[in-house]
Amino acid sequence: MQHPVKPKAVISGGSRGIGKALAIRLAAAGFDVAIYSRSMEKLEALKATILEAYPQTDVFIKSCDAADKAAVQDFAHALKDYWPQVDVLVNNAGIFTPDNVLDAEEGVFEAMVHTNLHSAYYLTRALIDRMPREGQAYIFNICSIASLQAYPAGSLYTITKHALLGFSRSLRQELKGQIRVSNVMPGATYTDSWAGADLPEERFMKAEDVAEAIYQAYALSSRTVVEDIVLRPLEGDI
C-alpha cells in the first residue's frame, strides 16, 4: 500500500526560539522538517527531540551561516537532492545587537543585513521553483514589531526588519493566486536572545504561541491568506 506523501517544511535559523518551537509544532502536525542554523550541536539536539516525540518524521539538518550567501545556496542545493518539493518555507534566521546608526562598530550593519534580509531573499529564490502553486504552499517571513516602529538602541535591527517586511509584502504581490505569504511580526518572545534580561519570563510571549499562530494561519483553506500576523505580550512592548 502506498503511503501519502507528507508535507515538507523548511525553517532557517531553526535550532532555537521561534524556529525551534515551529519545527516541533509542524512535526506534531505531520510535517517532515528541514532546518538550518550555525550550531550543529543544537540542530542534533532538536532532531533528537523531534524524533523522540514523532519518530515517523523525516528531519533534515545542516549547519549554515545565514549571513553567507554561498552557504545558504548550498543548503538549498543539498535539500534539492533530498526533497523534490517544499510546501512551507519559514524565513526565520536573524540576529539582534543593541546598536544605533551613528555609533555602531564597522561591519555590524552589514552582518545584520546579510543575516536578517539577504538570507530570506536567497533562500526564497533558491526554493521557489519547488513550491506548489494554486495556494497549496506557504511562505512565512518572520519579521518583528520592529518592522513597524523604531526602538532606542535597536536602530540597525529596525532597519533590517523594516526591509524584511518590504521584501515580504513585495513577495505577496508577486505570488498572489499562487503561493500564500504572511508577514509575521512578533513582539518580545522569550528566547535565548533575552537571556540575562532583568525581567520575569511571564512578561514575554511564549515561542510556542507564535508557532501556533503560524500553524493556524497555514491550516486555513487555500482560498485564504493571513497577510499580517502581529503578536504582542499582554502588557505591551518591552
User: What confidence tens digit (pLDDT) does each residue in 154-184 have?
Assistant: 999 999 999 999 999 999 999 999 999 999 9
Q: Which set of grid coordinates corresponds to residue 214?
A: 503560524
Whether 89 maps to a domain, the answer reads yes
Please say if the pLDDT value at position 38 is more than 80.
Answer: yes
Query: Domain for residue 178, yes or no?
Result: yes
Which CATH number do you get for residue 209? 3.40.50.720
Q: Is residue 1 part of a domain?
A: no
pLDDT of 192 reads 74
Beta strands in 122-200 (DSSP E): 138-142, 180-186
pLDDT at 196: 66
Structural domain total, the chain: 1
Considering the domain boundaries, does residue 161 fall inside one? yes
Tell me, yes or no, whether 163 lies in a domain. Answer: yes
- Answer for the pair 72, 119: CB distance below 8 angstroms, yes or no: yes
Range of the domain at 131: 8-231
**What digits encode the pLDDT tens for the residues 194-228?**
766 788 989 999 999 999 999 999 999 999 999 99
pLDDT number for residue 4: 61
Catalytic residues: 157
Region 121-125 average pLDDT: 98
Q: Residue 131 and residue 238: Cα distance in Å, rounded?
A: 37
Q: Is residue 209 part of a domain?
A: yes
- Pairwise CA distance, residues 64 & 162, whole Å: 24
Q: Would you say residue 237 lies in a domain?
A: no
pTM for the full predicted model: 0.95
Residue 236 covered by a domain: no
65-79: average pLDDT: 96
Other C-beta atoms within 10 Å of 50: how many? 22
